[in-house]
Amino acid sequence: MQKKREKLFYDRSAAGTRLKKWRLRYGWTRREVAERCGLTEKYYSDIERGSCGMSVETLISLSKLYGFTMDYLIYGEKGEVNSDKKRLLLSGLSRLSPEKQDYCLQMLFLFMERITVEEEKQ
Protein backbone atom coordinates (compact mmCIF):
# COMPACT_ATOMS: atom_id res chain seq x y z
CA MET A 1 0.00 0.00 0.00
CA GLN A 2 1.41 3.37 -1.03
CA LYS A 3 1.55 6.06 1.62
CA LYS A 4 -0.06 9.38 0.71
CA ARG A 5 2.49 12.19 0.81
CA GLU A 6 1.61 15.44 2.50
CA LYS A 7 1.78 18.42 0.17
CA LEU A 8 4.00 21.17 1.49
CA PHE A 9 3.31 24.80 0.71
CA TYR A 10 4.81 28.13 1.63
CA ASP A 11 3.49 31.66 1.28
CA ARG A 12 5.12 32.79 -1.97
CA SER A 13 3.89 36.33 -1.52
CA ALA A 14 5.45 36.63 1.95
CA ALA A 15 8.73 35.13 0.70
CA GLY A 16 8.73 37.62 -2.17
CA THR A 17 8.12 40.47 0.24
CA ARG A 18 11.09 39.34 2.36
CA LEU A 19 13.29 39.23 -0.74
CA LYS A 20 12.21 42.70 -1.82
CA LYS A 21 12.86 44.08 1.68
CA TRP A 22 16.41 42.70 1.66
CA ARG A 23 17.08 43.79 -1.93
CA LEU A 24 16.08 47.35 -1.07
CA ARG A 25 18.09 47.22 2.15
CA TYR A 26 21.19 46.40 0.09
CA GLY A 27 20.28 49.04 -2.51
CA TRP A 28 20.22 46.56 -5.39
CA THR A 29 17.99 46.51 -8.45
CA ARG A 30 16.07 43.41 -9.51
CA ARG A 31 18.44 43.12 -12.46
CA GLU A 32 21.50 43.14 -10.18
CA VAL A 33 20.07 40.39 -7.97
CA ALA A 34 19.06 38.33 -10.99
CA GLU A 35 22.54 38.62 -12.50
CA ARG A 36 24.26 37.73 -9.22
CA CYS A 37 22.13 34.58 -8.93
CA GLY A 38 22.13 33.57 -12.60
CA LEU A 39 18.40 34.24 -13.03
CA THR A 40 16.47 36.24 -15.58
CA GLU A 41 15.19 39.58 -14.36
CA LYS A 42 11.61 38.52 -15.17
CA TYR A 43 11.89 35.31 -13.14
CA TYR A 44 13.30 37.18 -10.15
CA SER A 45 10.59 39.83 -10.48
CA ASP A 46 7.94 37.07 -10.54
CA ILE A 47 9.46 35.57 -7.38
CA GLU A 48 9.35 38.95 -5.60
CA ARG A 49 5.71 39.43 -6.60
CA GLY A 50 4.90 35.93 -5.36
CA SER A 51 3.52 34.83 -8.71
CA CYS A 52 5.86 31.84 -8.98
CA GLY A 53 7.75 29.50 -6.71
CA MET A 54 11.48 28.86 -6.48
CA SER A 55 13.61 25.85 -7.26
CA VAL A 56 15.92 24.53 -4.57
CA GLU A 57 18.85 25.95 -6.54
CA THR A 58 17.25 29.40 -6.54
CA LEU A 59 16.48 29.16 -2.82
CA ILE A 60 20.11 28.32 -2.12
CA SER A 61 21.43 31.05 -4.40
CA LEU A 62 19.23 33.79 -2.91
CA SER A 63 19.87 32.66 0.66
CA LYS A 64 23.63 32.78 0.08
CA LEU A 65 23.43 36.16 -1.65
CA TYR A 66 21.50 37.81 1.18
CA GLY A 67 23.20 35.85 3.94
CA PHE A 68 20.19 34.25 5.58
CA THR A 69 18.86 30.72 5.90
CA MET A 70 16.47 29.09 3.45
CA ASP A 71 14.23 28.53 6.46
CA TYR A 72 13.96 32.29 6.97
CA LEU A 73 13.30 32.87 3.28
CA ILE A 74 10.50 30.30 3.21
CA TYR A 75 8.94 30.72 6.66
CA GLY A 76 9.93 34.22 7.76
CA GLU A 77 9.77 34.88 11.49
CA LYS A 78 10.08 31.17 12.21
CA GLY A 79 13.58 31.42 10.75
CA GLU A 80 16.60 32.96 12.38
CA VAL A 81 15.52 36.57 12.72
CA ASN A 82 18.11 37.22 15.41
CA SER A 83 20.90 35.95 13.18
CA ASP A 84 19.77 38.38 10.47
CA LYS A 85 20.14 41.26 12.89
CA LYS A 86 23.56 39.99 13.94
CA ARG A 87 24.54 39.70 10.29
CA LEU A 88 23.49 43.30 9.65
CA LEU A 89 25.54 44.54 12.59
CA LEU A 90 28.57 42.50 11.58
CA SER A 91 28.28 43.67 7.99
CA GLY A 92 28.27 47.29 9.10
CA LEU A 93 31.14 46.81 11.53
CA SER A 94 33.27 44.95 9.01
CA ARG A 95 33.44 48.08 6.85
CA LEU A 96 35.16 50.02 9.64
CA SER A 97 38.71 50.11 10.93
CA PRO A 98 39.39 48.11 14.13
CA GLU A 99 39.51 51.35 16.14
CA LYS A 100 36.14 52.51 14.82
CA GLN A 101 34.69 49.04 15.42
CA ASP A 102 35.71 49.29 19.09
CA TYR A 103 34.23 52.77 19.33
CA CYS A 104 30.92 51.63 17.78
CA LEU A 105 30.72 48.68 20.18
CA GLN A 106 31.34 50.96 23.16
CA MET A 107 28.60 53.32 21.98
CA LEU A 108 26.23 50.41 21.38
CA PHE A 109 26.80 49.06 24.89
CA LEU A 110 26.21 52.52 26.38
CA PHE A 111 23.03 52.87 24.36
CA MET A 112 21.77 49.43 25.42
CA GLU A 113 22.52 50.24 29.05
CA ARG A 114 20.55 53.48 28.74
CA ILE A 115 17.57 51.67 27.21
CA THR A 116 17.63 49.09 30.01
CA VAL A 117 17.65 51.82 32.67
CA GLU A 118 14.74 53.61 30.96
CA GLU A 119 12.72 50.38 30.74
CA GLU A 120 13.30 49.67 34.43
CA LYS A 121 11.92 53.10 35.34
CA GLN A 122 8.63 52.35 33.59
Radius of gyration (Cα) for the chain, nearest Å?
Answer: 19
- Name the strand (E) or helix (H) holding 101: helix 98-121
**Is 16 buried (19+), middle (13-18) or exposed (0-12) by CB count in 10 A?**
buried
**pLDDT at res. 76:** 82
Residue 80 has pLDDT above 50, yes or no: no
* Cα dihedral 50/16/31/45 (nearest 10): 10
Banded model confidence at residue 75, pLDDT cuts 50, 70, 90: confident
pTM: 0.58
